[in-house]
Amino acid sequence: MGDEDLQQAKTAMNKKAVVPKANKQDVAKAPVNKEQKKEDSKKDEKVEEEKKTEPKKEEGKAVLEREYIVPLRKEWSKVPEYKRANKAVKALKQFVAKHMKVYDRDLRKIKIDVLLNNEIRYKGIKKPPAKIKVKAIKKEDGTVDVKLVNIPKHIEFAIAREAKKKAEKAVKASKKPVAPVAPKEETAKKASSDVSSKESKDTKEKETSSKEAMEKLEKQQAKKSEHTSKEQQKVTQRKALKK
């Protein structure tokens, strides 16, 4: 049986054709069709247009809303003075992640409001508050927005004033009349007239400046002539020598 197996293996090896490896020089580059390139570019443009026209995703709806009074003194007292405000913010995030059941307690999913951050640092880096009242809103995507509950009156007034200014600007922009679009010929004529008027103004200004300079020079020369002495110098004649 062993001899038969060897013969079968030899015949199988002989049947297999050895394919020679092709050199890089022999390999010819496939011709690229221009039509395919155009089609690919059109597809890319369509994809970009679709991305632009896609409506923006709405913010996730609120799933959970809670209010907490967060103790901070215990955490920031463990740290040197210049690190207390940062430690207070981190402690707040850890507290919210724990009580709002954030997945893996990921602190990156907790977003602190600007007013809350400013309130923590109101008295400086070294003196954050001992506790703070906070409103936490959890959304469908798992993120949590943390906001300040008791906003000071002066900050409320500033926010209302900014909102009023924005509303006034929007009203003014809507009331502005739209200028009619002039035809090309009229615009070209206006442009040429503007250029000619500018050139005439420049020439007039140059003439006036040159006249003023000449008048100044004449005045200076007149002043110099007034101050010069009119007395003629006395001519000293040599006396004849005595014989």
Whole-number pLDDT of residue 219: 83
Residue 170 in any domain: the answer is: no
Element holding 52 (H helix, E strand): helix 34-53
Residue 163 in any domain: the answer is: no
Task: Report CA torsion sign: 74, 79, 81, 85.
Answer: negative
Task: Report CA torsion sign: 79, 85, 86, 89.
Answer: positive
**Structural domain boundaries, residue 113:** 62-154
Look up residue 129 and give its DSSP letter.
-
Whole-number pLDDT of residue 61: 84
Q: Whole-angstrom Cα distance, residue 122 to residue 85?
A: 10
Bridge partner list, 71: 131
What's the one-letter identity of residue 152? P
Contact present, 91 and 79 (Cβ < 8 Å): no
Name the residue with tokens 């000619």. 196
What's the one-letter identity of residue 153? K
Residue 30 in any domain: the answer is: no
Q: Whole-angstrom Cα distance, residue 231 to residue 238?
A: 22
Residue 106 in any domain: the answer is: yes
Residue 240 in any domain: the answer is: no
Residue 87 in any domain: the answer is: yes
Number of structural domains (the chain) is 1
Whole-number pLDDT of residue 118: 93
pTM of the predicted structure, to 2 decimals:
0.48
Whole-number pLDDT of residue 121: 93
Whole-number pLDDT of residue 84: 96
Residue 98 in any domain: the answer is: yes
Extract the tokens encoding 213.
Answer: 């300079």
Regions of the chain with pLDDT less than 70: 1-6, 10, 12-34, 38, 47, 49-59, 176-191, 226-243
DSSP alpha helix (H) spans, 56-183: 73-76, 84-99, 114-120, 153-175
Q: In this structure, how many other beta carbons lie within 10 angstroms of the beta carbon of residue 79?
A: 15
What's the one-letter identity of residue 103? Y
Radius of gyration (Cα) for the chain, nearest Å? 45
> Closest Cα to residue 138, out of 57, 59, 70?
59
Domain containing 66 — which CATH number? 3.10.440.10
Residue 236 in any domain: the answer is: no
